[in-house]
Amino acid sequence: MKRNLLLLICAVLLAFVSCKNETKTFEPETYTVGTGVFILNEGTFTYANSSLSFYDFDKDKATNNLFFRVNNAPIGDVGQSLALVGDNLYIVVNNSKYIYKVNAKTIEYKDKIDGFTSPRNMYVVGENKTYVTDIASPGFWTLNLSNNEKHLVNTGKATECMAQVGDEVFVSNWSKSYVDFENNTVQVIDCENDELVAEIVVAQEPKAMVVDKNNMLWVICNGGWDPMQPQDPALICINPATREIVKRFDFTPGVDSPDGLAIDAAGENIFFMNGFYGGLNIYKMSVDAEQVPDTPLILSNGKLFYNLAVNPGNGDIYVTDAKNYVQNGDLVRYSADGTLLGTYEMGIIPSYMLFN
């Protein structure tokens, strides 16, 4: 009996060793990006489960987890934004403090640029020259894409979104979570010399910006999230030439929380979200309008709208639904008149969209 027990133990150990020695190889998938839109899923903060999705117009199909499937590696902690420069796609990963460079057609890894504090958005200024905003540094980074050399331009405030008019880049100062300052300004940068030349006081928490057909700059201001602090939500139009506010539409503090801002290809209509946390609707407004529309173009109807974008090709409206911030979210597609066209499963907290 002891001999049989010994043989049984040996057999179990041998099987265990065999299993341990078995090598499992990962075969990277091949993928070719068509015409469509990239969606960067933020993932859960500190969980490093950000992911990249792509919705193909011709196939009417979404493909998820692209970066991992092609490169056998996760993107990292909080996928923040995307930038397309020539044949390269740049993935800005906020809490991991780096930017991935991949082949824009195959999503194959090419490089990693690190050393940032907390990068947010990347904007192409010229050949091989980009700006990278940072939520935890008092300024923005100049980044040379030919050699990855970077330099922090100190403006005294954390930086968020960017828009360019002529030889000036306008930068919103949205968050004061890491850098203590009054977050109610848009800073003006001379992009020839990379210098701060002016500052425009707007409303609290200016975030996304777009430029319209009249070369006017539109800024959406969240107004702040803390009910114990004064709130100042607003939609503001600035004349970049004079740096003066030409239109200001104020929202109701504690009731409204405007967010997201997009514009159609003609620069004639802007789109934004408004409502309160967990119930944002989508509004469409002519850039020549003198008041904000009372009626939404698209009702959330229980969806947790998180971000929006407009297809420059046909005017379709794309909205991300974060659901409960834990399960996979959705990409929701509407026609320009607000008709639902399709819903596609994404990763966790789908947010930034980039049309290809």
pLDDT digits (tens, 9 = 90+) for 25-79: 556 789 999 999 999 999 999 999 999 999 999 999 999 999 999 999 999 999 9
- pLDDT attached to residue 229: 76
Task: State which amino acid sits at residue 120.
Answer: R
**DSSP classification of residue 23:** -
State pTM to two decimals. 0.91
Q: What are phi and psi of 124, to 5 degrees?
A: -80, 120
**What is the distance, to the nearest Å, from the Cα of residue 344 to the centroid of all Cα atoms in its chain?**
18
Beta bridge partners of 52: 40
Does residue 348 contact residue 77 with C-beta atoms inside 8 Å? no
In this prediction, residue 155 has a pLDDT band, given cuts at 50, 70 and 90, of very high
With 0-12 / 13-18 / 19 or more C-beta atoms within 10 angstroms meaning exposed / middle / buried, residue 233 is: buried
Return all residues near 130 (Cβ < 8 A) that are at least 6 apart: 83, 85, 122, 123, 124, 142, 143, 145
CA atoms of 294 and 250, how far apart (whole Å):
13
- Report the pLDDT averaged over residues 203-217: 97
Q: 84-129, pLDDT tens digit by residue?
A: 999 999 999 999 999 999 999 999 999 999 999 999 999 999 889 9
Instruction: Annotate 193-208 with b (16+ C-beta within 10 A) or e (fewer).
Output: eeebeebbebbbbbbb
Say which amino acid occupies 199.
Answer: E
- At residue 72, the 3 state secondary structure works out as coil
Q: What does the pLDDT look like over 257-298, one tens digit per residue?
A: 999 999 999 999 999 999 976 689 999 999 999 999 999 999
Listing from the earlier edge strand, what are the strands of the sheet with 350-355? 61-63, 51-56, 36-41, 350-355
Q: What does the pLDDT read at residue 26?
A: 56
pLDDT digits (tens, 9 = 90+) for 287-335: 999 999 999 999 999 999 999 999 999 999 999 999 999 999 999 999 9
